[in-house]
């Protein structure tokens, strides 16, 4: 018999976070999160995502052993400002038992029907800064700290539960050797002169902080035309700034400004922490912190995390300036591989940015939808 229990105590919440550690034990491609970091992200008092999102955490038990988990989520900005009558679900993990996945997803429908919502979609997080999508192709590639991994049987469960694919996301990679300076060196100089643009690079995190609010304002404006986008509010920006900016190599953050010192483009790249997180095993201490610091300094793989260009500067070659700056940094760091985090398959503008580097799609993932 399947028993569903709300994770409403510190003990159960920790069990919720640790469930995938048993489900994916010794799995070669699953990347464990940091347990305390995950718990902090689920703390309603500290994560400002809960100012505009409602979430209920559930665990499934069979014979008193945890066999699955799910979060039922309502992003109220999405519902009230965009009129999307959607209940989300995320952090959806389960053993290969359809009764388990069915019992968990029914809790999502309960929350949705309670608020007269009409459909469910997931997996996705509380906001656009959270993880998104279930892997549909590319199970034999290691995950990253900013994506979920899942077994192939997950997709079969979604089909059995009556879900259809809603949005598809692509993950691509290319060797840094594919990046030739002649692709952008001349044109980026012309673009800088034509539009009077200036790149800004950093070596100290404290020098980045005064520009972070501008960066996220630009982020909201850059992605506002995407149907799935929900803007990031000021509280979420402040949270991200305090929690993550200091963790990213300052030389991997690039800004472009116009003649009036307005930011018109930005990009954030992260070193790959996948191997370090596997060695850490979910814990910073005693050795996890060492592995992460070592990866931050020495990783030869990088992930393009976020890139944004003001709509009025899109398709004007501004990204050539960004790539020219990264080329210098990556040469100094000895970078070997560039990985792009999940991007909507129908976001053709972002795909056009990378086409000259001959990227290879190594993984596909999707969100799934069902009327309730």
* Listed residues 139, 169, 199: the one ending a domain: 169
The candidate with the shortest Cα–Cα distance to 319, out of 359, 350, 358, is 350
**Residues 160 and 188 placed together within one structural domain of the fold:** no
Write the CATH number for 159: 3.40.630.30
pLDDT by position in tens, the chain (length 372): 999 999 999 999 999 999 999 999 999 999 999 999 999 999 999 999 999 999 999 999 999 999 999 999 999 999 998 999 999 999 999 999 999 999 999 999 999 999 999 999 999 999 888 999 999 999 999 999 999 999 999 999 999 999 999 999 999 999 999 999 888 889 999 999 999 999 999 999 999 999 999 999 999 998 877 666 778 888 888 888 888 888 899 999 999 999 999 999 999 999 999 999 999 999 988 899 999 999 999 999 999 998 999 999 988 999 999 999 999 999 999 999 999 999 999 988 788 888 889 999 999 999 999 999
HSE-up of residue 241 (Cα within 13 Å, Cβ side): 19
- Does a structural domain hold residue 289? yes
Is the Cβ–Cβ distance between 127 and 360 less than 8 Å? no
**Structural domain range at position 70:** 2-169
Residue at 329 is within a domain: yes
| Residue 355: per-residue pLDDT | 87
pTM of this prediction? 0.93
Residue 370 falls inside a structural domain: no
pLDDT reported for residue 119: 98
pLDDT of residue 183: 86
Distance, in Å, from the CA atom of 133 to the CA atom of 207, rounded to the nearest integer, reads 34
Asked if residue 209 is part of any domain, the answer here is yes
Q: Give the pLDDT confidence score for residue 228 in this predicted structure.
A: 66
202 exposure class (CB count in 10 Å sphere: 0-12, 13-18, 19+): middle
Is there a domain that residue 134 lies in?
yes
Judgement on whether residues 327 and 341 belong to the same structural domain of the protein: yes
- Domain end marker among 152, 169, 186: 169
102 and 61 co-located in one domain: yes
Q: What is the per-residue pLDDT for 195?
A: 96
Task: Classify residue 322: in a domain, yes or no.
Answer: yes
Note whether 72 and 208 are same-domain residues: no
Q: Are 196 and 101 found together in one domain?
A: no
Residues 134 and 18 in one domain: yes
| DSSP 3-state of 184 | coil
Cα angle 182, 250, 212 (rounded to 5 degrees) comes to 105
Q: How far apart are CA 271 and CA 292, in angstroms?
A: 10
Query: Which long-range CB contacts under 8 A does 269-273 form with residues at least 24 apart?
Result: 269/302, 269/303, 269/304, 269/305, 269/326, 270/146, 270/302, 270/303, 270/305, 271/295, 271/296, 271/299, 271/301, 271/302, 271/303, 272/144, 272/299, 272/301, 272/302, 272/303, 272/339, 273/144, 273/145, 273/299
Spell out the residues 6+ positions from residue 267 whose beta carbon is closer than 8 angstroms to its own: 253, 254, 304, 306, 307, 308, 322, 326
For 115-262, where are the alpha helices, taking DSSP H only?
153-160, 185-195, 205-208, 212-223, 234-244
Pair 33, 87 in one domain = yes
Residue 368 lies in a domain: no
Of 169, 198, 221, the residue that ends a domain is: 169
State whether 245 and 343 are in the same domain: yes
Reported residue count of the chain is 372
Same domain, 160 and 221: no
DSSP 95-119: -S-HHHHHHHHHHHHHHHHHTT--E
The number of domains in the chain is 2
Residues 225 and 153 grouped into a single domain: no
232 lies in the same domain as 144: no
Query: What is the pLDDT at residue 227?
Result: 64
Query: Does 204 share its domain with 118?
Result: no
369 found inside a domain: no
């Amino acid at each position: 018999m399947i028993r569903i229990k709300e994770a409403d105590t510190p003990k159960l919440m920790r069990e919720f976070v640790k469930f995938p550690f048993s489900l994916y034990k010794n799995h070669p491609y699953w990347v464990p999160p940091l347990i305390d970091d995950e718990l902090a992200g689920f703390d309603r008092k500290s994560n400002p995502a809960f100012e505009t999102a409602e979430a209920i955490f559930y665990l499934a038990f069979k014979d008193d052993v945890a066999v699955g988990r799910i979060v039922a989520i309502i992003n109220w900005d999405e519902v009230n400002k965009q009129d999307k009558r959607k209940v989300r679900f995320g952090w959806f993990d389960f053993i290969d038992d359809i009764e388990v996945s069915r019992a968990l997803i029914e809790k999502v429908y309960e929350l949705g029907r309670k608020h007269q919502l009409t459909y469910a979609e997931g997996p996705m997080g509380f906001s656009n800064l959270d993880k998104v999508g279930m892997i549909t192709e590319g199970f034999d590639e290691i995950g990253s700290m900013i994506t979920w991994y899942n077994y192939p049987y997950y997709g079969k469960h979604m089909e059995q539960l009556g879900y259809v694919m809603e949005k598809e996301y692509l993950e691509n990679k290319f060797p840094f050797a594919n990046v030739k300076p002649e692709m952008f060196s001349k044109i980026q100089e012309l673009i800088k002169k034509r539009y009077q643009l200036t790149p800004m690079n950093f070596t100290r995190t404290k020098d980045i902080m005064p520009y972070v609010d501008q960066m996220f304002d630009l982020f909201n404006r850059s992605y506002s035309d995407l149907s799935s986008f929900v803007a990031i509010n000021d509280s979420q920006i402040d949270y991200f700034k305090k929690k993550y900016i200091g963790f990213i190599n300052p030389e991997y953050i690039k800004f472009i400004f116009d003649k009036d010192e307005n930011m018109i483009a930005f990009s954030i790249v992260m070193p790959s922490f996948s191997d370090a997180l596997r060695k850490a095993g979910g814990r910073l201490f005693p050795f996890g912190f060492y592995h992460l610091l070592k990866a931050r300094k020495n990783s030869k793989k990088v992930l393009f995390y976020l890139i944004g260009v003001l709509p009025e500067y899109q398709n004007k070659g501004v990204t050539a300036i960004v790539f020219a700056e990264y080329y210098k940094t990556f040469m100094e760091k000895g970078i070997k591989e560039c990985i792009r985090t999940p991007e909507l398959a129908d976001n053709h503008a972002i795909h056009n940015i990378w086409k000259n580097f001959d990227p290879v799609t190594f993984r596909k993932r999707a969100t799934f939808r069902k009327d309730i």
